[in-house]
Amino acid sequence: MHDPTSSSSARIAFVGGGNMARSLIGGLVRQGHDAAAIRVAEPNADLRQALARDFGVAVFEHGRDAAAGAEAVLLAVKPQVMRPVCESLREVLQADRPLLISIAAGIRMDQLDAWCGGGVAVVRSMPNTPALIGAGASGLCANGRVDAAQRARAEQILGAAGLTVWIEAEEQMDIVTAISGSGPAYFFLLVEALEDAAVAEGLPRDAARLLACQTALGAGRMLREDGEAPAQLRQRVTSPNGTTQAALDRFAARGLRDVVADAVAAATQRGRELAAKSGD
Ligand SMILES: NC(=O)C1=CN([C@@H]2O[C@H](COP(=O)(O)OP(=O)(O)OC[C@H]3O[C@@H](n4cnc5c(N)ncnc54)[C@H](O)[C@@H]3O)[C@@H](O)[C@H]2O)C=CC1
Ligand SMILES: O=C(O)[C@@H]1CCC=N1
């Protein structure tokens, strides 16, 4: 029987059924959320059918059909189409007043609120692709209309795919995007570079990739599970005058920390530009 107060049967609508939506939906269903209460709007028929087949969710072609009667509406479309998508939902959002959650990079809560007609409870979130395997990290930020129950709902939805962190100042969401939103790509790049370097030194590529990938996994797990600071973990690997020291000295001499700071500044700035470009 449908119990509207139960956290596992609340009607949640996803507008956009691409990669990120799929990972969040997968997480919710795995946690026991009633699949029939999850409604997804996705214009691509193949994606739509795959979502229905894989998770048993209800699928629709148009956002307004999925969103009607939902307690929370999660917007998982690209930033470039966010404005027309919000405008197409305006009528149903104004009638039902659900919690609106956006995962789009660079789109501010006041823009979403205005495009949806005003007076909307908005949570802006920035997840990342490890959500696909339940190891995501999401920053969350709420506007003044979001109540405690809606905060809990947003945490439940994003938390189904990993860790959540509340960010009080919205301007910091561009930094979250630059660190954890884009961050998986930085670690993938480092693994690519390690693999190539090992091959250049003479290791077979298969072995190089396997060792680099497993090292990333091991280091990531120690960072989250050991409770020690990253610098302490680093020091425990580094024997005086040993091999690690030789590599770390070279990273320092080549200015690795400056390169990282510069890259994060560029990503943060790009997030701000995306918000400006999407218009008010
Ligand atoms: N990929 C990433 O690492 C991250 C992406 N994001 C954000 O998540 C959002 C979605 O990204 P992805 O899932 O990677 O993109 P995607 O391209 O896989 O998914 C977007 C989906 O929206 C659908 N769509 C387009 N117009 C629509 C409409 N009018 N109504 C309903 N659906 C519509 C598309 O057919 C597509 O399947 C973006 O705003 C992005 O900024 C956030 C964090 C990380
Ligand atoms: O690259 C991007 O713009 C999006 C936002 C964070 C990850 N992917």
Q: What is the identity of the amino acid at 267?
A: A
Q: Distances in Å between the alpha carbon of 100 and those of 14, 50, 120, 161?
A: 10, 25, 7, 18
Say if residues 79 and 103 touch (Cβ distance below 8 Å). Answer: no
pLDDT at 1 over 50: no
Q: What is the pLDDT of residues 241-259, one digit of tens each?
A: 999 999 999 999 999 999 9
- How much is the average pLDDT of 155-175? 95
Contact 37, 16 (CB under 8 A): no
- Residue 274 has a pLDDT of 80
What does the pLDDT average to over 60-77? 97
Beta-bridge mates of residue 100: 73, 122
As a whole number, mean pLDDT of residues 128-146 equals 94
Q: Provide the terminal-to-terminal Cα distance of the chain, rounded to the nearest Å.
A: 43
Q: What is the pLDDT of residue 277?
A: 74
- The C-alpha atoms of residue 239 and residue 245 are separated, in whole angstroms, by 7
Q: Which residue has the higher pLDDT, 43 or 131?
A: 43
Could you tell me the pLDDT band of residue 4, with boundaries at 50, 70 and 90?
very low
| pLDDT per residue as tens digits for the range 22-33 | 989 999 998 899
User: What is the value of pTM for the model shown?
Assistant: 0.91
Residues 183-275: name the CATH superfamily: ProC C-terminal domain-like (1.10.3730.10)
pLDDT at 279: 63
Please state, rounded to an integer, the average pLDDT across all residues of the chain: 94
DSSP track, the chain: ---TT-TTS--EEEE--SHHHHHHHHHHHHTT--GGGEEEE-S-HHHHHHHHHHH--EEESSHHHHHTT-SEEEE-S-GGGHHHHHHHHHHHHHHH--EEEE--TT--HHHHHHHTTS---EEEEE--GGGGGT-EEEEEEE-TT--HHHHHHHHHHHHTTEEEEE-SSGGGHHHHIIIIISHHHHHHHHHHHHHHHHHHHT--HHHHHHHHHHHHHHHHHHHHHS---HHHHHHHH--TTSHHHHHHHHHHHTTHHHHHHHHHHHHHHHHHHHHHHT--
Dist. CA 4 → ligand 2 center (Å): 34
CA distance 65 to 13: 9
Tokens at residue 21, please? 């939506």
Tell me which residues have their CB closer than 6 angstroms to ligand 1.
15-21, 41-44, 47, 63, 76-79, 81, 85, 103-105, 126-129, 181
- Tell me the ligand closest to 14's alpha carbon: 1
- Tell me the CA–centroid distance for residue 146 and ligand 1, in Å: 24
**Hey, what are 191's tokens?**
């693994």
CB 38 within 8 Å of CB 57: yes
| Phi, psi of 7, rounded to the nearest 5 degrees | -70, -20
Domain boundaries, the chain: 12-172, 183-275
Q: What is the pLDDT of residue 5?
A: 47
Nearest ligand, CA 182: 2
- Separation CA 73–CA 130 (nearest Å): 22
In this structure, which CATH number among 3.40.50.720, 3.50.50.60, 3.40.190.10, 1.10.8.60 belongs to the domain 12-172? 3.40.50.720
Among candidates 45, 13, 43, which has minimal Cα distance to 28? 13
Complex ipTM: 0.96
CA 130 to chain centre: 8
Q: Is 182 in the pocket of ligand 2 (CB under 6 A)?
A: yes
Residue 177 near ligand 2, beta carbon < 6 Å:
yes
